[in-house]
Amino acid sequence: MNNHGQRPADIAFAAGFPEIADILERYTAQWPNASVDMTSLAGASKTTATPRPSALSKMAETFGELEMVLTGLNLPHMIPIFEQHQVTFEIFLRLTEKDLENMNITAVGERKTILHAIKDINKKEWQTSSLPNVALNTQMT
């Protein structure tokens, strides 16, 4: 799971990849505590596939929302640029084309992809599940 309690299958499904989500679900049902071993996903027999931690699974543990969005947009190479400029997910949601230009993101296609994603995220309907949990015995002033 990532920092927000999302499993890889949840992220794949939410990003519009139900087939990949299904593969991940089947894999985790087979080995619930294992990291993804690509040979077993490709159809190798259960006896030859040995689940082992991968660099990708270790990296996924440290990914937050911003990294997940950039990876989902097929722009993982942009993650260091956003880290260098200390852009959080909240800041990311308010970026403009001028901001991206100031960050030295010169490829028009990449800027356009990022701006469309920001627009789509901002216009998504809010859900009750996105509200924080508040303890019932907590006094608020």
The pLDDT value given to residue 71: 87
User: What would the 3-class secondary structure string for the chain be?
Assistant: CCCCCCCHHHHHHHCCCHHHHHHHHHHHHHCCCCCCCHHHHCCCCCCCCCCCCCHHHHHHHHCCHHHHHHHHCCCHHHHHHHHHCCCCHHHHCCCCHHHHHHCCCCCHHHHHHHHHHHHHHHCCCCCHHHCCCCCCCCCCC
Give me the chain's average pLDDT, please: 75
Prediction pTM value: 0.49
Give me the residue spans of the domains in the chain: 76-122
- CATH architecture of the domain with range 76-122: Orthogonal Bundle (1.10)
- 11-63 pLDDT, tens digit per residue, is 887 888 888 887 888 777 665 555 544 444 455 444 444 444 444 454 445 56
